[in-house]
Amino acid sequence: MSPDLRRLNARRREAVRLLRDSGVRGIAQRAARVAYRRLGASELETQIDLDYMADSRDLRLTVPGKRPDRGTPLTVGWICSPPGAGSGGHTTFFRMIEGMEAAGHTCVLYLYDPFRGDLARHERVIRQYWPGVRAEVRSVADGLAPLDAYVASAWETAHVLAARADLPTRRLYFVQDFEPFFYPRGSHYVLAEDTYRFGFRSITVGPMLANLLRDRFGVTAAVANFGIDTNIYGLTNPEPRTGVVFYAKRDVPRRGFLLGLLALREFHRRQPEQPIHIFGDPTVEVPFPAVNHGVLKPAELAALYNDCAAGIAMSFTNLSLVPDEMLACGVVPVMAESEYAKVTLDNPHVRWAHPTAYGLAEALGGIVGGDRPAPEVVAASVRPTPWDDAKRVTRETIEDEVYGAPAASR
């Protein structure tokens, strides 16, 4: 038998074995993986435009020569990536735009899309899923106009804004995550980290990031506190509950998918009678009994929370909305221990656990085993913070940056 025929037979046997063990889906995944590597598709995961990369060591930012009178309506540009339906980060960012527009300012939304997608298609998504945003939608590729101020929303967009150093405008940075943690220690890590040295006026979502930027970079940031939609997330089931819930997003590393999977497998081994619920991705398959609810609308998620006793609420780059939303529905959240997160989230019903499978599973087991307060006590512990507070802080910070500090604080 020739070498070529032996190789062909070996591949056939491998395909039969894979079909038997993993089915058609496994074969399709293997083929996609091979194509992904051979075509260099991994570059698309972290696509950047080199022409928009700036360097904090060689940055001379132009600012307007004169400040407008306080109270003059402003025109503010907001730079972000094209959003997908249901994007939480975009939802928070767009809330701030709505707050500026409600105060009488004009907003222009600039989309940074290194893939050069169709602007009209992106705008249709915005108008459909965020109808409260009235801002005109433009493309960064068409240039940035000399507006009163610009607000960057992520590290790539901060580079876009810094790279136009000759643009006479005021620059701000709306920080929702410590984004270097999105990457291994390498080029993307240091490029993201460098944005905190650009000198933009910073606004962080929650105090955890403000503390981190202060300690690491000497940056003083305004804090826009997390809001909670208590008209959606609230207690509807005061009865004792069973089971646990987990936001299972395998393509979002900061959500701790693999760690959550290991913890739930261990939890099921210890307490197999307890139901396990996951949501966020309908394609996720897990090696233990669980109900996958797929993508849920907020009201559907609130209903699910009201059926559960405990939940895993992990986010390694900032706190998220999940813990407060769980608490408001009477769920006790289990969170991975973090120096900055523990200082920020002081709710007495949060269970902090060592970030290992055993640590998280043990915490979940204690909660469903009865070591928890009644759901109404948990729900009552949540401070009803409206998003209006974050909108106000963001608006006032932008106004102070453009107008100058109010007379009383000079």
Residue 107 near residue 101, CB atoms below 8 Å: yes
Q: How far is CA 356 from the centre of its chain?
A: 22
Number of other CB atoms surrounding residue 388 within 10 Å: 12
pLDDT for the residue numbered 15: 63
Q: What is the mean pLDDT of each run of 10 residues along the chain (410 residues)?
A: 68 68 63 55 60 94 95 97 89 97 98 92 96 97 97 97 97 97 93 98 96 96 92 94 94 90 97 96 94 94 97 90 95 91 86 95 95 94 90 98 80
pLDDT for the residue numbered 36: 46
The CA–CA distances, whole Å, from 129 to 137, 252, 351, 407 equal: 14, 21, 34, 40
Is beta strand 149-152 parallel, antiparallel or unpaired with respect to 170-175?
parallel
**Cβ neighbours for 80, distance < 8 A, ≥ 6 positions apart:** 90, 93, 109, 110, 111, 112, 153, 154, 157
CA terminus-to-terminus distance, the chain: 88
Cα dihedral sign for 398, 194, 179, 177? negative
Question: Which long-range contacts (C-beta less than 8 Å, at least 24 apart) are formed by 354-357?
Answer: 355/256, 355/259, 355/314, 356/259, 356/263, 357/259, 357/262, 357/263, 357/265, 357/266
pTM for the predicted model, two decimal places = 0.85
Closest CA relative to residue 329, chosen from 240, 245, 237, 226 = 237
pLDDT for the residue numbered 187: 93
pLDDT for the residue numbered 338: 83
pLDDT for the residue numbered 252: 85
> Using CA atoms, how far apart are residues 271 and 364, in angstroms rounded to an integer?
10
Q: What's phi and psi for 107, nearest 5 deg?
A: -120, 145
Report the amino acid identity of residue 324.
D
pLDDT for the residue numbered 115: 87
pLDDT for the residue numbered 42: 46
> Using CA atoms, how far apart are residues 182 and 317, in angstroms rounded to an integer?
8
pLDDT for the residue numbered 232: 94
**Complete edge-to-edge strand list for the sheet that includes strand 291-292:** 291-292, 276-279, 244-247, 310-312, 332-336, 351-353
CA angle 179, 174, 257 (to 5 degrees): 35
> Using CA atoms, how far apart are residues 98 and 228, in angstroms rounded to an integer?
16
Domains of the chain by start residue, with CATH: 50-227+388-409 (3.40.50.11090), 244-384 (3.40.50.2000)
Digit-coded pLDDT (tens) for 63-72: 999 999 999 9
Instruction: Give me the DSSP letters along 46-59.
Output: G---GGG---GGG-
The CA–CA distances, whole Å, from 141 to 79, 116, 119, 231 equal: 12, 8, 10, 39
Closest CA relative to residue 151, chosen from 75, 69, 214 = 75
> Using CA atoms, how far apart are residues 197 and 213, in angstroms rounded to an integer?
10
Report the amino acid identity of residue 338.
S
3-state secondary structure 216-263: HHCCCEEEECCCCCCCCCCCCCCCCCCCEEEECCCCCHHHCHHHHHHH
pLDDT for the residue numbered 44: 46
> Using CA atoms, how far apart are residues 275 and 287, in angstroms rounded to an integer?
14
Residue with tokens 């992904």: 36
